[in-house]
Amino acid sequence: MGFLPKKTQMKYIKYQVIFEHFVERHFIKFFAKKYKGAWDFTYSLLREEFEQIDLLFLKSIAEEINHCRDIKICKTEFKIAGTNQSRHGSGNRCIVAVHKDTCTVNVLLVYHKNDLGNGNETSTWKQIIKDNYPEYCELL
- pLDDT, one tens digit per residue, over 43-98 is 999 999 999 998 888 887 889 898 888 999 999 999 999 888 888 888 899 999 99
* CATH code of the domain covering residue 131: 3.30.2310.20
Does 105 fall in a domain? yes
Q: What are phi and psi of 129, to 5 degrees?
A: -60, -50
Does 2 fall in a domain? no
Does 123 fall in a domain? yes
What domain range includes position 63?
16-139
Task: Give residue 93's pLDDT.
Answer: 94
Average pLDDT over residues 5-25: 79
Does 10 fall in a domain? no
Q: How far is CA 117 from the centre of its chain?
A: 20
Q: What are phi and psi of 98, to 5 degrees?
A: -100, 120
Does 132 fall in a domain? yes
Residue 120 identity (one-letter amino acid): N
Q: 16-19 and 71-78 as β-strands: parallel, antiparallel, unpaired?
A: unpaired
**Four-CA torsion 74, 65, 102, 22, nearest 10 degrees:** -60
Q: What residues have CB less than 8 Å from 128, skipping those under 6 apart?
A: 109, 116
What's the domain count of the chain?
A: 1
Does 3 fall in a domain? no
Closest CA to 92 of 106, 111, 114: 111
pTM for the predicted model, two decimal places: 0.86
Does 47 fall in a domain? yes
Task: Give residue 85's pLDDT.
Answer: 84
Q: Which residues pair with 76 in a beta bridge?
A: 62, 94
d(CA 91, CA 114): 8
Per the CB < 8 A criterion, the answer to whether 17 and 97 are in contact is no
117 has pLDDT over 90: no
